[in-house]
């Protein structure tokens, strides 16, 4: 069987998050320092460690079959490359920022201004759609310094926490797009390798679903059981088991972490006791 060739960022946070999800789905990679390629011990996969900006071309050429890559890179360099799964990590924004003392307060104020960026295609498309004309300076590296040295009136770059903007005396004036890691696929992938990728995608979906959910166990008085069950979504329906103590039942269910506290408040208000909340490592649907 041919190995699936999957690319990940060579270093940085996206590399760490990518290797973590591969580990979480049971793929063991032996990668030494400065290795450019490593094979899995227990799965037909080879991992290629590449520069993020080079990955779209490798996918396009079929050098790699799939990649864990920032969506922002696909918007900039790989609009012809499809992705098949959002992975929920390495979230960021691509934003325009200007010096705090700048008189630029909105998008229309960028007309005629100079913008330094590592994402020229993304900025060009966005400004054109907004009917804004600006002069772009492409910079690879520390874009934030451009306004301080008089090269540009503003910048467009990745923003994660916003601390880099703050340290460089910049303020965000426009968000062009929001990005996260995605699982992208080469248009030249073979059917055999696509079958392997399907297995990887299924495992990733199980891990991601688990991260979004909590397993909840509780004791419910039988006279309030119907009201409590109304509060619980469950995958199909909650599991209800009689307790040794007469008039009580044990209820087991899965709850979305986004709804968690509202549901817990409702359960307590309806007499639920002994509520236990457990993380879910993986959830296979």
Predicted local distance difference test score (pLDDT) of residue 33: 60
Domain with CATH 3.30.70.120 in the chain: 213-279
Domain with CATH 3.40.190.10 in the chain: 4-89+180-210, 92-179
70-86 pLDDT, tens per residue?
999 999 998 899 999 99
Is residue 1 within 8 Å of residue 44, measured between CB atoms?
A: yes
203-213 pLDDT, tens per residue?
999 999 988 88
Residue 55 per-residue DSSP state: H
Is residue 186 within 8 Å of residue 4, measured between CB atoms?
A: no
CATH number of 92-179: 3.40.190.10
Predicted local distance difference test score (pLDDT) of residue 162: 77
- The pLDDT of residue 31 is above 80: no
Predicted local distance difference test score (pLDDT) of residue 32: 61
Name the pLDDT band for 87 (thresholds 50, 70, 90). very high
pTM beyond 0.85: the answer is no
- The pLDDT of residue 234 is above 70: no
| CATH among 3.20.20.70, 3.40.50.300, 3.40.190.10, 3.40.50.150 for 4-89+180-210 | 3.40.190.10
The 3-state DSSP class for residue 275 equals strand
Looking at the domain 213-279, which fold is it? Alpha-Beta Plaits (3.30.70)
Is residue 186 within 8 Å of residue 242, measured between CB atoms?
A: no
In the chain, the percentage of residues whose pLDDT exceeds 70 is 97
> How far apart are the C-alpha atoms of 210 and 214, rounded to whole Å?
8
> How far apart are the C-alpha atoms of 224 and 65, rounded to whole Å?
54
């Amino acid at each position: 069987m041919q190995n699936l060739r999957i690319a990940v960022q060579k270093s940085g946070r996206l590399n760490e998050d990518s290797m973590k999800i591969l580990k979480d789905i049971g793929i063991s990679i032996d990668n030494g320092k400065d290795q450019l390629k490593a094979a899995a011990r227990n799965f037909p996969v080879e991992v290629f460690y590449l520069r993020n900006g080079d990955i779209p071309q490798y996918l396009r050429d079929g050098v790699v079959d799939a990649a864990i890559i920032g969506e922002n890179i696909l918007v900039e360099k790989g609009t012809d490359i499809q992705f098949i799964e959002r992975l929920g990590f390495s979230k960021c924004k691509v934003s325009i920022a200007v010096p705090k003392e700048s008189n630029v307060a909105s998008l229309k104020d960028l007309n005629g201004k100079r913008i330094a960026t590592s994402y020229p295609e993304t900025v060009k498309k966005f400004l054109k759609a907004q009917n804004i004309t600006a002069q772009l300076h492409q910079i690879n590296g520390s874009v934030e310094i451009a306004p301080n040295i008089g090269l540009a009136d503003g910048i467009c770059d990745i923003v994660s926490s916003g601390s880099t903007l703050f340290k460089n005396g910049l303020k965000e004036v426009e968000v062009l797009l929001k990005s996260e890691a995605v699982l992208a696929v080469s248009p030249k992938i073979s059917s055999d390798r696509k079958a392997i990728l399907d297995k990887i995608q299924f495992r990733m979906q199980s891990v991601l679903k688990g991260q979004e959910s909590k397993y909840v166990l509780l004791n419910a008085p039988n006279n309030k059981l119907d009201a409590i069950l109304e509060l619980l979504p469950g995958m199909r329906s909650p599991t209800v088991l009689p307790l040794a103590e007469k008039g009580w039942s044990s209820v087991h269910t899965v709850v979305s972490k986004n709804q968690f506290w509202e549901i817990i408040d409702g359960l307590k208000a309806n007499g639920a006791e002994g509520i236990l909340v457990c993380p879910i490592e993986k959830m296979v649907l």
